[in-house]
């Protein structure tokens, strides 16, 4: 009985950890390989859907500063991705991206 209880506990832990990989299923290798600098935010939305978090900050150093917008998918410390855009709200262009998967 003790072995069965331990086995059930291990299965529950494994199941909960496997559900922690929080990147959407749209983060396939094929979709990730299609990402490149200069893509529009609409293209990123089409590939990956709506981001989990959005932040706006100032990037660069004076006198070459600009407003940058970062979209985040997933959750630290699990699988996650970030896309940083430059430009205005209605014309964001991808400047930098990072995807971390197991």
Q: Which domain does 51 fall in, by range? A: 22-100
pLDDT at position 39 over 90:
yes
Per-residue pLDDT tens digits for 71-101: 999 987 789 999 999 998 788 999 999 999 8
- Number of domains composing the chain: 1
CATH of the domain at 50: 3.30.1450
Full-model pTM: 0.75
Residue 46 inside a domain? The answer is yes
Has residue 12 been placed in a domain?
no
The whole-angstrom separation of Cα 61 and Cα 15 is 45
Residue 35 is assigned to a structural domain of this protein? yes
Q: Which residues of 33-51 are buried (b: 16+ CB within 10 A; e: fewer)?
A: eebeeebebeebeebbeeb
């Amino acid at each position: 009985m003790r072995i069965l209880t331990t086995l059930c506990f291990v299965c529950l832990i494994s199941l909960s950890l496997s559900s922690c990989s929080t990147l959407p299923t749209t983060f396939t290798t094929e979709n990730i390989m299609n990402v490149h600098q200069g893509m529009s935010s609409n293209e990123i939305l089409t590939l990956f859907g709506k981001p989990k978090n959005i932040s706006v900050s100032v990037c660069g150093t004076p006198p070459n500063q600009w407003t940058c917008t970062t979209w985040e998918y997933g959750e630290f410390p699990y699988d996650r991705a970030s896309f940083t855009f430059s430009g205005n709200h209605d014309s964001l262009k991808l400047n930098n991206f990072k995807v971390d998967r197991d």
